[in-house]
Structures are given as C-alpha cells and as structure tokens.
Structure 1
Amino acid sequence: MSERAADPRRPDAPGLVLPPLLVPRRRIGSRTFDFSRQVAVMAIVNRTPDSFFDRGATFALDLAVQAAVDAADAGADWVDIGGVPFAPGPELSAADELDRVLPVVQALASRSDVVISVDTFRPEVAERVVAAGAHVVNDTTGLHDPGLADVVADSGATLVVTHSLALPRREHPRPRYDDVVTEVVEFLARRVDVARAHGVPDARLVIDPGHDLNKTTRHSLELTRRLSEVAALGHPTLAAVSNKDFIGESLGREKPDRLAGSLAAATISVLQGARIVRMHDVRASVDAVRMVEAVLGWRGPVFERHNLTEGPS
C-alpha cells in the first residue's frame, strides 16, 4: 500500500477529501475498526410486529435470532436489534421492550463475535442489554433522556447520538428547517456535549443525522448531499438510509423495490464521510461497501487473476 493510500485525507481517488476523525481507531466489542479507511455495515433485526420495512418478519424469537446470526455470517460488522419502532404509536413498557430484545442479544452474543447494538432510548433497557453482551446503544431520540449517557459512560459501550425532534413515538408533522444540515449539525454538537458531560468519551461516540426522522424527503436528500458537513464534527457518522421513504419517494418505488436506491444512497454517504451504514440487505450492502473501499485503495482485491495468466508461448 502506498504512503498516499494510507493517508485518509488523500485517498487514491483524486479530489476526494474526507473529514478527519477525532478518534478513528476504535475497539468495539471484540472487533477493531479503523474508520479512517474502513466502513462498517450494520445489519437490522427488528423484533417488532410493526417495523416500517419488514412488518414483523422477525418478530418471533427464533426468527430474530436466526436473522441476526445469518447477518453476521453474511459479513455484517454490526447487528442492530430493535424492539420499539421509531414511528409514532402506543407506548411499549420497558419490561416488554426487554422481553423482545434481551433474548436476541443473549443468543447472538453466545454464537458470534459480531458487534451488537440495541436501538433503545431507555436507560434501564440499555443497562440490561449491555450487561448481556451488547456493545453499542443506538439512541434515535438524541439523548431525550440524558440518563442514557450515564449508563453508557459507566459500561464501556459505544453511544450513537441521532438527530430527531419529536418525543419518543410522537408525531412531528410537517417539519420545518431554515437550513436542515446546519440545524442537524448544531443539534448533534449540543447532544454530543451532553454525552461528554455525562462521561462518554469521544472514543465511544458515533453520530447519526437521522435520515427521514422528522424530516421530509427533500430534507433527507439535502442531508445526503451535504453529509460531509455532519461528518466534519469528527465522530464516525452512521447513515441509516436503507429502504427509507426518501428513497421510495425519489424513485417512485415501494419498499420491496428500494434496494438499488438504498445502495446508491449508502455509497454516496460513504463518499461524503459516513463510516457506518445501516442496511437491510446485508450481502448486497457488504459487497457495495467493500467495492467502495477497494476503489478508494483502502483494501486490496480478494484475489487477482485477470490478465495475469501467461499467454501462449
């Protein structure tokens, strides 16, 4: 690998300048990531009967566990387990949320070394799942309850801080922004400061601009186009773009037909500085991300044969 390719600010692709990271090299669970030259694929397993995409396909415990194991086997770096949808709806108690996510965490931790994250905004849920083997708490409410940061700080886990405006599971119709990217960046900077004040160090912080979360399709497109401004905060940026409505509305595609759009959005996000992509179709997403890494000179080919065989003498 050339010296030039080893510098994330000057990758092999001419003209591509990525925002520098405060702490690029991370130990998360048993895996080490160098986010200056690596992109992690986060798989999605929702143990809910009403998730926006799979509509309960992995609600049964055995199906959820198998989906998580299959995702790890397909090359996912992380598996994100959720028990409560972001979409507005009736409140689910902490006990019921734990009943959904805790057995999946326990089963996956016993069968794989994949990074395990749990999508929750409740400190009591976070404490239990981290004790059971989860390595990341993925809070889509932007630390609505700052006590979550206390749990993470004391545990050694990583915290994902996401931009969203509404209270958990509440409506936020017709969101308005003067400049959506500037306001998302300012929100994330403030909430990161809250996490730091509660003891979470930079080495355990990830940010997520929250595509589609209290945003219109045009807001999410603008965020994707200018994602480098979010990444410039210096923390690994997570892009949760898979099958989102902004993709469906941009292309006129229903949920089953959004894979190509999701891969395009994920690729653009990586080229704008995203270092984690949260995706439903693991195998296709892993291939897309690894190809981007190869083109950028961050990884070599798995094998090389093309035009390297000896010709006839």
Structure 2
Amino acid sequence: MGILNVTPDSFSDGGQYSSYEIACRHADEMVRDGATIIDIGGESTRPGAAPVSLNDELLRVIPLVEYVAKHHDVWISIDTSKPEVMQQAVNAGADLINDVCALSQPGALAMAAQLDVPVCLMHMQGKPQTMQNQPEYQDVVDDIVAFFTQRIDDALKAGIKRENILIDPGFGFGKTLAHNYQLLAELHRFKTLSIPLLIGLSRKSMIGNLLGCDVLERDNGSAVAAMLAVQNGADIVRVHNVKLTVEMLRVLDATNNYAALST
C-alpha cells in the first residue's frame, strides 16, 4: 500500500504532494514501483494535527481518487473518518475505507455497512491532538486485541460483513516507543482474531527516535520494520517508499520459497 498524502502538514511529506498534478505523478510512480493499493488521505493524523473541514478534505481527495481509478488497475484506499468522504470516495472509485477512528465517528458504521466495501479499523488511544500524552496500557497487545474484539462485534452488528474487515494496531497512535516495539515483536498475537492485518509504521517516530534520524532518513529502518511485520503476520504494509519495500519483499519471498526458483 503506497501512501499518497495530499495535505500541507503531513508528518512525513507535508506539502510535497498537495498539488494535484504532483500528486498524480507520485501515484503513477508508486504504481510503477509495484504498489497494488494507493492510500489517499486529505487530513493529517500526526500528533497535534488540526482537524480539516469536510469541504477541504473532499476537494483534496476526490479528484485524486478519480484520477487513479481512471488510469491504474490498482485498489484505491480512502484514508478518512468522515462518512461523507467515505461515500463520495467510493462513488468515485475507492475500493477500501481506511479509518484511523475505527468507524467511531457519528454515522460511520452505518455508512460503511451501506457502501459494502472492505474497511480497515485502526486502534488509537485518545485523539491526534492528545494521543501522545502519556499513553498507558495494562498490556498493549492484550488491550488492543480486546478493543478489536469489541469493535469487530460492533461492525458485524451494524451489518458489515466479516470478510470486509481489516485491522491496524495503530503504530504511533497513542503508544510509547516500548509499546510500538512490543507490538512489532508480538504482532502474531493479533492473528487469533482471524482478520487480515494492515500495518503502517513507515517513517514514524518509532524509527526516528530509535535511530536518531530525521523523517526523510527513515526508509531503511522502515523497510526492516516492514519485513519484521510481514514475518510476524502482516498481510498489507502501508509505506512511503514503495520501490524499497517491494524489493525487500521480493527477497523475503524468494527466501521463503527458494525451491520454486529451481523449477
């Protein structure tokens, strides 16, 4: 899953792809590099990020959804928590709803059920404005598994099909450095839920704070973390540097399936 942020204040690429033409070219590049899903977002969820109005978010994302749907044979993910954006994006060609609020906003559960497309439920402790203010857990994995157990049940009761549900433990969303690396080490524990696992840790502070590097210098650490995530059960990895990640995954796949190379 390649990340396409069309926001002026994204933590990693703020403003870099906020122009429509530049964002389209970046989508083209990520598809050439091997992305099979493009995740389009118009509202930053970095710590301390300010909310974006419905109209501004629609103006940012809908033209890009339409562009990717017209020009590329890939899945399109809409990264939003607003029911109205979900509806218009799916009508424009989006295939997947990626919601950092796990469909907790008013009307989101009903809208996702009505649209009948896959939806990713993400865990976040608190809100973007406050989520990094001393996050606490009894056990971070146990607590998030319990959260997903309840949220999956809520989604099913709202009419969302089980086969349309994905989960994302929310690296960096209300977690300390230790919480993030425990999640990465014990990712396999989420497989007990029998739900596909989407992982987004590309260029996040868990990489930068550990390695002491700036945002745009975190791709190597992000690729290693993505490899560990896949080895521990991740089904989809959401990344900024698609080419580097695809090459890593090809090497990993060849290692796991070396017998096929001799046939």
- With the shorter chain as reference, the TM-score category is over 0.9
Q: Displacement of 1:254 after TM fit?
A: 1.5
Query: Secondary structure in 2 aligned to 1:54?
Result: coil
Aligned length: 261
Q: Displacement of 1:293 after TM fit?
A: 2.1
Contact 2:168 2:197 in 1 (8 A): yes
Q: Displacement of 1:146 after TM fit?
A: 5.8
Q: Displacement of 1:142 after TM fit?
A: 2.1
Q: Report whether the alignment pairs 1:79 with 2:3.
A: no
Equivalent of 1:67 in 26, 47, 53: 26
In structure 2, what residue type is equivalent to 1:233?
Answer: L
Distance 1:51 1:198 in 2: 32
Which residue does 1:99 correspond to in 2?
A: 59
Equivalent of 2:124 in 164, 170, 173: 164
Equivalent of 1:127 in 64, 68, 87: 87
Q: Report whether the alignment pairs 1:190 with 2:138.
A: no
Moved more, 291-300 or 210-219: 291-300
Distance 1:203 1:293 in 2: 25
Superposed CA offset, 1:270-309 (max 9, x none): 11100000011011111112222222229945xx7xxx9x
Alpha-carbon distance change, 49 to 300 in structure 1, aligned in 2, over 3 angstroms = farther
Contact 2:125 2:174 in 1 (8 A): yes
Contact 2:7 2:43 in 1 (8 A): yes
Superposed CA offset, 1:6-51 (max 9, x none): xxxxxxxxxxxxxxxxxxxxxxxxxxxxxxxxxxxx0000000000
Distance 1:193 1:146 in 2: 17
Unaligned runs of 5+ in 2: none
Moved more, 193-202 or 75-84: 193-202
Alpha-carbon distance change, 97 to 298 in structure 1, aligned in 2, over 3 angstroms = farther
Which residue does 2:171 correspond to in 1?
A: 211
Query: Secondary structure in 1 aligned to 2:120?
Result: strand
Contact 2:223 2:245 in 1 (8 A): yes
Q: Report whether the alignment pairs 1:137 with 2:97.
A: yes
Which residue does 1:289 correspond to in 2?
A: 249
Which residue does 1:48 correspond to in 2?
A: 7
Contact 2:50 2:129 in 1 (8 A): no
Q: Report whether the alignment pairs 1:228 with 2:175.
A: no
Q: After the TM superposition, which residues 105-124 of structure 1 pair with which residues of structure 2 at under 5 Å, given as runs?
A: 105-124=65-84
RMSD value, Cα? 1.7
Which residue does 1:154 correspond to in 2?
A: 114
Query: Secondary structure in 2 aligned to 1:274?
Result: coil
Distance 1:271 1:190 in 2: 26
Superposed CA offset, 1:164-222 (max 9, x none): 0224x431311111111111111111111111111111211110000011111111000
Contact 1:121 1:141 in 2 (8 A): yes
Alpha-carbon distance change, 186 to 110 in structure 1, aligned in 2, over 3 angstroms = same
Runs of 4+, deviation exceeding 4 Å: 298-301
Moved more, 158-167 or 286-295: 286-295
Select the structure with the greater relative contact order (CA < 8 A; seq sep ≥ 6): 1
Name the % identity: 35
Greater helix percent: which structure?
2
In structure 2, what residue type is equivalent to 1:209?
Answer: P
TM-score, normalised by the number of residues in structure 1: 0.80
Distance 1:210 1:91 in 2: 19
Distance 2:12 2:259 in 1: 32
Distance 1:92 1:192 in 2: 27
